[in-house]
Amino acid sequence: MPKLIILGSSNAIPDENHENTHMVIVGKKRTVLIDCVSNPILRLQKAGVDFNNLTDLILTHFHPDHVSGVPLLLMNMWLMGRRNPLNIYGLHHTLDCIEGLMGFYAWSEWPDFFPVAFYRLPMQEMTPVLESKEFRIFASPVQHMVPTVGLRLEFIRSKKSLAYSCDTEPCAQVIRLAEGVDVLIHEAAGAFHGHSSAAQAGEAARQAGVGALYLIHYPTGKYASGDLVAEARQRFDGPVNLAEDFMAMEFD
Ligand SMILES: [Zn+2]
């Protein structure tokens, strides 16, 4: 403890072995889901994480491949009799859209619904999101098609750190967010509007001086092409890996 489990590593089009990109941080007191897609209850069960222990949900941006599981998560928690509050964090745009989406499901009329607290984050670099005895989480806006944050996690006891670029074009904010971290999880969807290639992820890792790079949000199944790790290694000397579903990283 604490550890991070990759729950999905694919870009917007998943395949049998790669769900849309999302992950969970499991601590002693806090379990933090980062984005929420598909069937969250099944995914967490498969990862060995007790669904009832979820305390916090961070939503990076309002694209379906990052938030489509939110209504089902909230409904399943309610049907399972949850009483504990759930904290949800995101930019104003993201949470306004989530509240609008839940409005279509008329969630305000679901009887005995558990308390949900929304924390709206400013578009400001290194905004503190949450702090526990085990870790601190910060958010910085990155460069995507809609307002989006990347995240930085600092583990208190081990002093290890991790950054997650989320969906972004190469930008200075990601370099600053990831500066000197042990692990950078960087997207590698491709070099097009709002995204980065594996080579650009490698370049970000080099500029930020990180310990190791994990590529995520990459094309899978019939859309997979080329050796992404080799591509990133052309720009970054350190260890490079592909993030895979259910991969766990310990930060003790
Ligand atoms: Zn996106």
Residues 6+ apart with CB under 8 A from 161: 152, 153, 154, 155, 180, 181, 182, 183
The candidate with the shortest Cα–Cα distance to 4, out of 168, 128, 242, 185, is 185
Would you tell me the crossing angle of helices 92-104 and 70-79 to the nearest 10 degrees? Answer: 60
User: Which pLDDT does position 221 carry in this prediction?
Assistant: 87
User: Which pLDDT does position 115 carry in this prediction?
Assistant: 97
* Average pLDDT, 10 consecutive residues per value, the chain (252 residues): 94 93 96 95 94 95 97 96 96 98 96 97 98 97 97 97 97 98 97 95 98 97 90 97 96 84
Q: How far is the centre of ligand 1, averaged over its atoms, from the C-alpha of 83 (Å)?
A: 32
User: Which pLDDT does position 235 carry in this prediction?
Assistant: 97
Q: How far is the centre of ligand 1, averaged over its atoms, from the C-alpha of 100 (Å)?
A: 19
Q: How far is the centre of ligand 1, averaged over its atoms, from the C-alpha of 82 (Å)?
A: 30
User: Which pLDDT does position 153 carry in this prediction?
Assistant: 98
* Contact status, residue 134 vs residue 2, Cβ threshold 8 Å: yes
Q: Does the predicted TM-score (pTM) go above 0.85?
A: yes
Ion ligand 1 contact residues with beta carbon within 5 A: 63, 167
Please state, in angstroms and rounded to a whole number, the distance separating the CA atoms of residues 102 and 208.
38
Q: How far is the centre of ligand 1, averaged over its atoms, from the C-alpha of 111 (Å)?
A: 33
Q: How far is the centre of ligand 1, averaged over its atoms, from the C-alpha of 60 (Å)?
A: 9
The CA-CA-CA angle for residues 205, 209, 215, to 5°, reads 25
The candidate with the shortest Cα–Cα distance to 247, out of 65, 9, 60, 39, is 9
Structure tokens at 75: 């409904």
User: Which pLDDT does position 51 carry in this prediction?
Assistant: 87
Percent helix, strand and coil across the chain, each to the nearest 5: 25, 30, 45
Structure tokens at 100: 């609008």
Q: How far is the centre of ligand 1, averaged over its atoms, from the C-alpha of 62 (Å)?
A: 7
Q: How far is the centre of ligand 1, averaged over its atoms, from the C-alpha of 189 (Å)?
A: 10
Please state, in angstroms and rounded to a whole number, the distance separating the CA atoms of residues 162 and 175.
13
Q: How far is the centre of ligand 1, averaged over its atoms, from the C-alpha of 159 (Å)?
A: 30
Please state, in angstroms and rounded to a whole number, the distance separating the CA atoms of residues 3 and 252.
8
User: Which pLDDT does position 252 carry in this prediction?
Assistant: 78
